[in-house]
Amino acid sequence: MEDIVIVINPGSTSTKVACFSNGALLADETIRHTTDEISKFEGIAEQLTYRKEMINRFIEKQNIKPKDVQAVVGRGGLLRPIPGGTYLVDETMVEDLKSAKYGSHASNLGGVLAYEFSKKYGIPAYIVDPVVVDEFHPLARLSGLKGIERRSVGHALNQKAVGRKILADNGKEYEKSNIIVAHLGGGISIGAHQKGEMVDVVNGLDGEGPYSPERTGSLPLIDFAAYIQTEDMTIKEVKSLIAGKGGIKSYLNEIDLRIITEQIENGDKKAQYYIDGMCYQISKSIGEMATVLAGKVDYIILTGGASYSEYIVNQIKKNTEWIAPVEVYAGEMEMSALYQGAVRIFEGKEKARDYKEAKIRKAEVN
């Protein structure tokens, strides 16, 4: 088998790896990492060799010949803000990902691992629609405090891929439509997509919007400032509280929504209260994104693991379907979206972007 593309998607609790050839998925595997395994490492960068060995074992199992590999594609991590698209991984990008200059997240390893395998095979490495895709409207950048800007961080890869699919299924085009996509996973991001650009996104990683299974979302500022002072917290501890120990985890000490929704089915009122609260806040953020699109919304799309839950989907639907029809794509399309990003380059439909050259839209004011 020739023209093989290896796809690598590191998440906080898993590493997904797949190989594709000529439009078809040949093999894939989701390698789960237990909290015990992951907590042995100081941080994300230290997990590189551990995850690489697991990917190596997957590749060996497939009997892939190095000469048959055409490219390696990784999920792109916290980089400087860049527009969406497929980017060639270069030394500058790898350095930014490894040093966590723009923050630390499991997806940082996507570009780094893709680069290491590409060097081994002597082929190019790409990332596609990384978590920092920035197509913000200039007004979306303002935070309300000089010196602090909102940044675009979210599940851009999955939001765009699922958006394109749902629109195509309904005979519409992403570039000509307005949609709100809510990725409901361990973390939550909710994007307003206007005619092919994600012009605003509720960024759960940095403490915006709804709480999620493991993230706080936005908090009352004064109370939170006092909490940080009382607990004498470092910035590292604040980050891991906001994204890791907040939300449902802080209320119920559990992040697996399958367990919690089963508890609700069994009559657990406490579990129901905190899940209803999350759905209430998700609906509020969807409403916020509807105002960004001035109410001209073709579809609201719910995706991510939590969208498997009929209970959660129904809670959100009842508060938002007056805005636009609600479509559901449970799970994610990230692996095929990463592959398709590389295919667009092979077929000449897009030119691989240069990370160093990429420029975002900014307001021209002093």
Ligand X SMILES: CCCC(=O)OP(=O)(O)O
Ligand Y SMILES: Nc1ncnc2c1ncn2[C@@H]1O[C@H](COP(=O)(O)OP(=O)(O)O)[C@@H](O)[C@H]1O
Q: How far does the chain reach from its first CA to its final CA, in angstroms?
A: 56
Helices (H) and strands (E) in the chain — how many of each? Answer: 12, 14
Whole-angstrom Cα Rg for the chain: 20
DSSP states of 36-47: HHHHTSSSSGGG
CA–CA distances in Å: residue 23 to residues 61, 336, 340, 344: 21, 9, 8, 11
Q: Are strands 86-88 and 353-354 parallel, antiparallel or unpaired?
A: parallel
Q: Kindly tell me which of 185 and 210 has the beta carbon lying closer to ligand X.
A: 185
Q: Which two tokens stand for residue 255?
A: 């992040």
Residue ranges in 108-167 that form contacts with ligand Y under rule CB under 6 A: none
Cα 284 from Cα 286, distance rounded (Å) = 5
What is the smallest separation between the CB atom of 166 and ligand Y, expressed in angstroms?
A: 16
Per-position x/- string for 114-143, each x denoting binding to ligand X as judged by CB under 6 A, each - no binding: -----------------x------------
Q: Which two tokens stand for residue 290?
A: 């509807």
What is the smallest separation between the CB atom of 68 and ligand X, expressed in angstroms?
A: 30
Contacting residue, 332, 336, 338, 355, with ligand Y by CB under 6 A: 332
What is the smallest separation between the CB atom of 105 and ligand X, expressed in angstroms?
A: 5
Q: Which stretch binds ligand Y (CB under 6 A): 45-53, 184-192, 269-277, 319-327?
A: 184-192
Query: Do the Cβ atoms of 308 and 331 come closer than 8 Å?
Result: yes
Give the dihedral of Cα atoms 275, 280, 281, 286; nearest 10 deg: 130
Residue 213 binds which entry of ligand Y, ligand X, none, CB below 5-8 Å type-dependent: ligand Y
What is the smallest separation between the CB atom of 38 and ligand X, expressed in angstroms?
A: 13
Contacting residue, 107, 152, 261, 281, with ligand Y by CB under 6 A: 261
Q: Kindly tell me which of 109 and 345 has the beta carbon lying closer to ligand X.
A: 109
Query: Do the Cβ atoms of 342 and 126 come closer than 8 Å?
Result: yes
For residue 195, the 8-state DSSP code is T
Per-position x/- string for 269-288, each x denoting binding to ligand Y as judged by CB under 6 A, each - no binding: --------------------
Q: Kindly tell me which of 153 and 301 has the beta carbon lying closer to ligand X.
A: 153
Judged by CB under 6 A, does residue 194 bind ligand Y?
no
Contacting residue, 6, 97, 205, 300, with ligand X by CB under 6 A: 205
Residue 153 binds which entry of ligand X, ligand Y, none, CB below 5-8 Å type-dependent: ligand X
The residues of the shown chain that bind ligand X, judged by CB under 6 A, are 11-12, 105, 131, 153-155, 185-187, 189, 205
